[in-house]
Structure 1
Amino acid sequence: MTRVLYLISCAAGPTQYVEKGVEQAQKRGWDVCLVLTPSAAEWWAPRMSELEDLTGHPVRSRYKLPGEADALPKAAAMLVAPLSCTSLNKWGAGIADTLALGLVSEGVHMGVPVAAMPYFNQAQGAQPAVARSIRDLRAQGVRFLDGEDGYASHPPKQGNPAGFPWNRALDAVATMAATHQ
């Protein structure tokens, strides 16, 4: 039986290259379901069918309507990568106004292993809400992957979205999923 990974990506630079994360996860044996924030979905709108062909699933970005069946299989693990500063602070504050945030907000409290790897600059990271949000998510059991264990914030205007370390995020998810079984 193939394990299902929800890869949840926000509107942050590396989402331009989300197919790299999908492909790396698939090579590790994951059945990847991709969920994008509404802004990230706009980035991919002209090429959404490429992502759907790659994953074999519809790419979700909005809550389903009442009465609609779930389009995706149940997740064995969830990875939010890249996690934008905006989505981090909304999630940390308990705001689930997007499908992406709603899934992880519930998932972590339903026993699904959840990891998150940020991608934002040091100026954004200096906002006091960031440290609070990270602390609050970790207290809920989210594995927040920053610094040496994940992604260290970059100076403003000096990020390298193509070089996002998907492998580190997927290593963490694999470890979490293995200990969760």
Structure 2
Amino acid sequence: MTTPRTRELYLTMAAAGIPRSSVELVRSAQEAGWNVTVLCTPDGTRFHDLEAIEDLTGEPVRVAYRAPGTGKSLPPPDALLACPFTFNSVNKFANGIADNFVVSLMCEMAGYGVPMLVVPNVGPQLARHPAFSASLATLGRMGVDVFFDADAPQGERLPSWERVIERLGRLGAGEAGAG
């Protein structure tokens, strides 16, 4: 009898305020059977409890490229979850502006065909900006699943972690889609 292989998840986080702890998101993903590697934008480090996340995962949160010959490589991912993701990071990713480690890695993983779920946390004013809707359309054409309801009330735009993890579990199964 062989033990099932643990699914590898890259969780990328940006500088978005969230009503629930990102630590709880990591824990929810782990409880769903994912081994979680967390990566964060430089500005995002001020928005998330990196020390608690590192305690939970047993690994440092990656914020920058590692120098050649130092540290260990990341395990290859089965999926990537970008949550929470900002207006800025969504637009950068969609347009290939890889000016930080997280967005650069996401662009590379898109090239590998890694299934991705992007969960923006964007207010109504920014959600109405034409660049944002164009970026969401670009991500859809790239095969990225975007979990965002622009018509939801402000306090309900970010889905519950349970809904995020449920949707993540459907990636690659042909069930996820825009909205």
Mark yes or no: TM-score above 0.5.
yes
Across the aligned residues of Structure 1 and Structure 2, the Cα RMSD in angstroms comes to: 2.2
Q: Tell me the distance in 2 between the aligned counterparts of 1:9 and 1:87.
A: 9
Q: TM-score, normalised by structure 2?
A: 0.85
* Structure 1 pair 32–152 and aligned structure 2 pair: CA distance change class (3 A): farther
Superposition pairs for residues 73-92 of structure 1, below 5 Å? 73-92=75-94
Amino acid at match of 1:174: G
Q: Tell me the distance in 1 between the aligned counterparts of 2:172 and 2:72.
A: 23
Gaps of 5+ in 2: 175-179
The percent of aligned pairs where both chains have the same amino acid is 32
Shift of 1:173: 1.6
Amino acid at match of 2:166: D
Shift of 1:154: 4.4
Q: Tell me the distance in 2 between the aligned counterparts of 1:18 and 1:144.
A: 19
Residue 43 of structure 1: which of 41, 47, 50 is its match?
A: 47
Which structure has the highest helix share of the two? Answer: 1
Q: Which of the pair has the greater relative contact order for Cα pairs under 8 Å at 6+ separation?
A: 1
Q: Secondary structure of 1:24's match?
A: helix
Mapped contact 2:6–2:34 kept (Cα < 8 A): yes
Superposition pairs for residues 115-126 of structure 1, below 5 Å? 115-126=117-128
Alignment match, 1:173: 168
Q: Count residues in correspondence.
A: 170
Gaps of 5+ in 1: none
Q: TM-score, normalised by structure 1?
A: 0.84
Superposition pairs for residues 104-115 of structure 1, below 5 Å? 104-115=106-117
Mapped contact 1:117–1:144 kept (Cα < 8 A): yes
Amino acid at match of 2:82: V
